[in-house]
Structure 1
């Protein structure tokens, strides 16, 4: 698949040159200025030559970068983001480590530590049962059953979630039940949640409960946010109208910006509006 995409990309570059076409016939997705592009060549060469490397890496949670000695095994792309699959030399037990290339600041070849292979990692088939890149050496694929409603079913059938996808049942209302044989990981969770109420997990039960829990938390967040917005409007009004003189000075427009509407519903105030008002000196609580 990757070689096919590379071939198409090269054809897209070469055809206009030889045919005189000024308008390209294909458009490939590309993120300009993505710094990982500068590192792919060095890392690819290290993977190909089986060279140990030292990467300066800073995870999203870390405050500063850290030098890591890594045995590079594979470069993998997922949703237009590249990852280095390898193993840290400091691991006490064999395991696969995943590094996002956009979090790597530099790469150098380490000539002191000889390259070490991981016998449990097969770069050709390791991710066959995985959506994304999150997988441990001992993670096993599970049978995941999903019900897709009639609105989303045509899209899921034309663009499957995974190559193991099978339609097990079709219902009269147009919805379908399909199954996947995949590792249950963060990427699978995000894929299901991104389909909103169009996708419902039927099995396994623990995964169904987890997805249901995420959706309940999201609904609670929406309810709490609306309540906070309502109370914030009242608080802002009281803050602005500290005394009767201030009330008299307020224009009708100012009052309408903070007051609750006659229907009892809070006005439309987004998170950005709340943040901007909280940072304003007049909204700071003493």
Structure 2
């Protein structure tokens, strides 16, 4: 009891001591399998506690099979995420864990597989951007968007890394600009750190609220969610109900034929249009009129491309 009390004081600054009952309870816990120890503690001369095996130590206690299975499952998930890891050290840690587990257990195929694309460009910027956001460092970024014919070099203040559809974006603000913008990591050509003293913090709403009414990442601070009404045919309805397009999704009407009408409140952006077009002939935009018109024009343009192809064949 004195030894434990001294240890508690040195490590935690606790000077209230420890009771005999606590010591006895801890010894019983070490003897049990609750913590995976099953320590071979015995009593000699009716007053001394010792290990029947003098070589035993709880520090060398093997991991239980249950814990090993849990570690293996967690490792499977880590392996899937490693390609997008913000921390370079994670890959080395995963290799070490994998080697340790495999040396203690037969190698089994993983049962978790997550979406990933090792060919994605721009992942090398995750670590420097993460550190810049964390340490509030302005960045000089050389960037070339898909729409621009030439590259531009500007100073940006980085605020958030956001992933959408397996692609990463930096939410930031350009120096001497008021509004937020997003940069696709796969379009960044070069990054240089600037002086920390010139960093401009973001003083708008928190980003959880900022993107709450958005599908994807395309949004300005002036954009607000609109009431979008969509009708899905019967075969697609169960999918939409079990996997909502957005957390604001509400069921407006269920038709006799099994089709459904839903409402979502989101910003009208390119990602929303692509989400709708992804359902092709299974969805109809009821409102707003401008979105219905946009989708109609895009479908007509796509149909014209197929018609032109058929004409060329003939």
The answer to whether TM tops 0.5 is yes
Deviation string 1:110-134 (CA, Å, 9 cap, x unpaired) is: 1176111233352232111100000
Q: Does 1:10 align with 2:94?
A: no
The equivalent of 1:150 in structure 2 is 234
Is this contact kept in 1: 2:136–2:196, CA < 8 A?
Answer: no
Q: 2:279 aligns with which of 176, 192, 195?
A: 195
Rate the CA distance shift 1:208–1:41 in 2: closer, same or farther, 3 A: same
Rate the CA distance shift 1:44–1:7 in 2: closer, same or farther, 3 A: farther
**TM-score, structure 1 normalization:** 0.72
Find the aligned partners of 2:158 and 2:307 in 1 and give their Cα distance: 46
Rate the CA distance shift 1:59–1:148 in 2: closer, same or farther, 3 A: same
Is this contact kept in 1: 2:75–2:98, CA < 8 A?
Answer: no
The equivalent of 2:253 in structure 1 is 169
Q: 2:126 aligns with which of 40, 62, 68?
A: 40
RMSD, aligned CA: 2.3
The equivalent of 1:73 in structure 2 is 159
Deviation string 1:72-106 (CA, Å, 9 cap, x unpaired) is: 01100000000001011142xx1111100011122
| Greater relative contact order structure (CA < 8 Å, 6+ sep) | 1
Find the aligned partners of 1:7 and 1:117 in 2 and give their Cα distance: 37
Find the aligned partners of 1:158 and 1:220 in 2 and give their Cα distance: 34
The equivalent of 1:101 in structure 2 is 185
Q: Does 1:111 align with 2:179?
A: no
Deviation string 1:142-167 (CA, Å, 9 cap, x unpaired) is: 11010000111111112111111111
Q: Once structures 1 and 2 are overlaid, which stretch shifts more, 66-75 or 203-212? A: 203-212
Find the aligned partners of 1:59 and 1:140 in 2 and give their Cα distance: 25
Rate the CA distance shift 1:17–1:160 in 2: closer, same or farther, 3 A: farther
Q: CA deviation at 1:47?
A: 0.9
The equivalent of 1:185 in structure 2 is 269
Moved over 4 A (4+): 11-17
Q: CA deviation at 1:58?
A: 1.3
Is this contact kept in 2: 1:76–1:84, CA < 8 A?
Answer: yes
Residues paired across the two proteins, number: 223
Which is higher, the Rg of structure 1 or of structure 2?
Answer: 2
Q: Does 1:208 align with 2:287?
A: no
Is this contact kept in 1: 2:254–2:261, CA < 8 A?
Answer: yes
Rate the CA distance shift 1:129–1:190 in 2: closer, same or farther, 3 A: same
Q: CA deviation at 1:7?
A: 9.2
Deviation string 1:180-237 (CA, Å, 9 cap, x unpaired) is: 010011000011111111010111122112212222222223223322332xxxxxxx
